[in-house]
Amino acid sequence: MTIGADPHTLTGAYATDALDDDERRTFEEHLARCPSCAQEVRELTAAAARLGLAAAVAPRRALKDEVLRRLATVRQEAPRPGPGPQAGTAWHRARRASRWALAACLAAAAGLGGTAVWQHRQADEARETARRAQARSEDLAALLAAPDARARTAKLPDGARATVVVSSSRDRAALLASGMARPPRGKVYQLWFDDKGSMRPAGLMDPDRTTAAVLLTGPVGGATGMGITVEPAGGSTEPTSPPVALVDFPA
């Protein structure tokens, strides 16, 4: 691509962010005056974005070489205004054919990059999940080590035990549970702050773990204790079942 190239031939490069800064500025000046190129850029950009995000499977090994070969041979036709209607019609047909050929190449290229985009997104999500888990672990450790941390232990049904730990200085609470039965399929243990009889959501327990240390979500505030109920997966805004346990916070 060069600045001296006919700007009408740069729509595909612009749509795929393949122009350098000077070429982009020059093309954008042309784009502001050319509705035809503006429409073509919108179509190519949308097509590349949709197909790139939709692809989540590995392409066959030979596809990359095939796409690169076609990209090297397919060229957009520059506009050639003809002297009469027939010449103009032929030029428009050639331009449409060239545009669709470029769109096909962009689609294939997007397919090649789709797996990489998907994998990159998955990696980002995994890193964010790990970061949040690390932060919660550090907050839990800080709560348990707080000088004013106080604990109370209660027996739960079927021999399970629950210990609540509260720190006034940190305004946080945690639950240390052991020996709990697994919740029914599609259900989860939900934790609640007991605000003098009014229950406030405080997080969920991992349904696959019978022993866990959980930092309750949110500040203790004026809560005098905590409760555990069995709720639909994802939790509820208020309890929908009798409490499995109610534990007063230590004084």
Answer whether residue 143 is part of any domain.
no
Residue 94 and residue 29 share a domain: yes
| Domain match, 115 and 204 both | no
Verify that 18 and 78 share a domain, yes or no: yes
pLDDT of residue 67: 64
Domain identity same for 164 and 216: yes
234: alpha, beta or left, given left = phi > 0 and alpha = psi -120 to 50? left
Confirm if 202 and 229 have CB atoms less than 8 A apart. Answer: no
Q: Does one domain contain both 12 and 118? A: yes
**Three-state DSSP state, 103:** helix
Provide the pLDDT for residue 52: 46
- Tell whether 141 is covered by a domain: no
Q: Does residue 115 share a domain with residue 32?
A: yes
Residue 235 reports pLDDT greater than 70: yes
Instruction: Give the total number of structural domains in the chain.
Output: 2
Lowest-pLDDT range of 9-13, 99-103, 170-174, 245-249: 99-103
Q: Provide the 10 A C-beta neighbour count for residue 14.
A: 22
Burial of 101 per CB tally in 10 Å (0-12, 13-18, 19+):
middle
Residue 145 belongs to some domain of the structure: no
Q: Which two tokens stand for residue 171?
A: 């305004």
Amino acid residing at 75 = R
Same domain, 20 and 110: yes
Which residue would you say has higher pLDDT here, 204 or 30? 204
Answer for the pair 193, 230: CB distance below 8 angstroms, yes or no. no
The answer as to whether 142 is a domain residue is no
- What integer best gives the mean pLDDT of the chain? 76
202, amino acid identity: A
Q: What is the pTM of this model?
A: 0.50
Please report whether residue 94 resides in a domain.
Answer: yes
Do 159 and 207 reside in the same domain of the chain?
Answer: yes
If asked whether residues 22 and 105 sit together in one domain, one would say yes
Taking the C-alpha atoms of residue 142 and residue 146, their distance in angstroms, rounded to an integer, is 6
- What is the number of residues in the chain? 251
Does residue 132 fall inside a structural domain?
Answer: no
Per-residue tokens: 240: 């929908």
- By residue range, what is the domain housing residue 171? 150-248
Question: 118 and 172: one domain?
Answer: no
Kindly state whether residue 137 falls inside one of the protein's structural domains.
Answer: no
Say yes or no: 24 and 64 in one domain. Answer: yes
CB 240 within 8 A of CB 232: yes
pLDDT at 173 over 90: yes
Mean pLDDT of 94-121: 56
Which residue do the tokens 């190449």 mark? 105
Q: CB of 71 within 8 A of CB of 105?
A: yes
Instruction: Give 118's DSSP letter.
Output: H
Q: How confident is the model at residue 54 (pLDDT cuts 50, 70, 90)?
A: very low
In a domain, 1, yes or no: no
Report residue 194: phi and psi, to 5°. Answer: -100, 100
Q: What is the pLDDT of residue 138?
A: 80
Of the candidates 162, 159, 210, 205, the residue with the CA atom closest to the CA atom of residue 182: 210
